Each structure stands twice: as structure tokens, then as C-alpha cells.
Amino acid sequence: MKKDIHVVGAVIVDNGKILCAQRGASKILPLKWEFPGGKIEKGETPQDALKREIKEEMHCEIEVGEQMEHTVYEYHFGIVHLTTYICKLIDGKPKLTEHVAIQWLLPDELQTLDWAPADIPTIKKLISLATHK
Ligand SMILES: Nc1nc2c([nH]c(=O)n2[C@H]2C[C@H](O)[C@@H](COP(=O)(O)OP(=O)(O)OP(=O)(O)O)O2)c(=O)[nH]1
């Protein structure tokens, strides 16, 4: 049986733009774009996991707001349960450490990137929310 992997992703919004991060070439899902975040550890709430991951990966502090989307996607390596949250920066600016690139994009620009498949429902929701504003 494939393993279940519980992951949180931060949709960090600043000035109407969304932070997008590109995975490294030697990782699983090489060079795919994703929302910064990672696996929830034992005993952590999703919000705590997200704050910890963003501090570790991007060296900044976020406030975690409402849940955006929850997706279950079966990859060859396991079943990813991805929950995304709207977040805002409260201290510092995101720095490149684990990722190979970051971009700040408007909702209608998000589809120009090659996203990890589990992220597509979040991308669609962000575009539709911006369109129906
Ligand atoms: N952080 C993040 N991970 C995502 C997204 N979409 C998606 O399918 N994933 C997958 C990639 C990974 O398999 C898993 C996230 O775990 P991770 O960030 O700790 O994994 P990783 O591959 O970077 O690192 P590791 O397993 O080598 O520790 O979820 C996303 O938007 N953000």
C-alpha cells in the first residue's frame, strides 16, 4: 500500500501577488512549482507545521489564515494530502534556500508555471476567486 503523506502549503499573498517556489532538480517532482511548506510532524497542528516550515525554508515569519483547499493526489511515491492556507508575511522577506527559484505572480499569471499536480485545485480556486471578485 502507498504511504499517506500529510503536507501543508502556504499561499503567501503580498500586494495582491502570490509566492510561488520551484523545487530542486534532484528532488521528487523535480523543478515543479509548489507552495512553500512541507510535511506535518507528529503532534503539530497544520498551522504550526506551516509556520515552522516557512521559517526553516524561507527564513521569515508568517501568519496563517483561512484554509484555501484540501487535495488528495496519488503520486508514484505515495498519496499526498495537501492542505493549503492563505498566509501573510509578518516578519522578514522570503529567501531562497531549498528552492531553486521564487516568483511573485498575480492570480491570472499562475498558470504560466509547471505546478506539482496536487497544487492544481488550489491554483484553479485562486484564479476563480480573483476573477469573480
Ligand atoms: N511543500 C509542498 N509540497 C508539495 C506541494 N505539492 C505537492 O505535491 N507536494 C509534495 C512534494 C513532497 O512529496 C511533499 C512535501 O514534502 P516535503 O516538502 O517535506 O518533501 P521534499 O521532497 O521537499 O523533502 P524530503 O521528502 O526530501 O524531506 O508533498 C506543495 O505545494 N508544497
Q: What is the pLDDT of residue 94?
A: 97
Q: 45 CA to middle of ligand 1, Å?
A: 17
Q: Residue 100, CB half-sphere, CA atoms under 13 Å: how many?
A: 11
- Is the pLDDT reported for residue 132 higher than 90? no
How many structural domains are present in the chain?
1
CATH code, domain with 122? 3.90.79.10
The rounded distance, in Å, linking the Cα atoms of 30 and 25 is 5
Listed residue (117, 82, 113, 133) closest to 18, CA to CA: 113
Q: Kindly report the average pLDDT of the chain as a whole number.
A: 97
CB atoms within 10 A of CB 100: 13
- Look-up of cell digits 521528487: 28
Average pLDDT for residues 41-66, to the nearest whole number? 98
Residue numbers of the domain that contains 105: 4-131
Ligand 1 proximity of 35 Cβ (cutoff 6 Å): yes
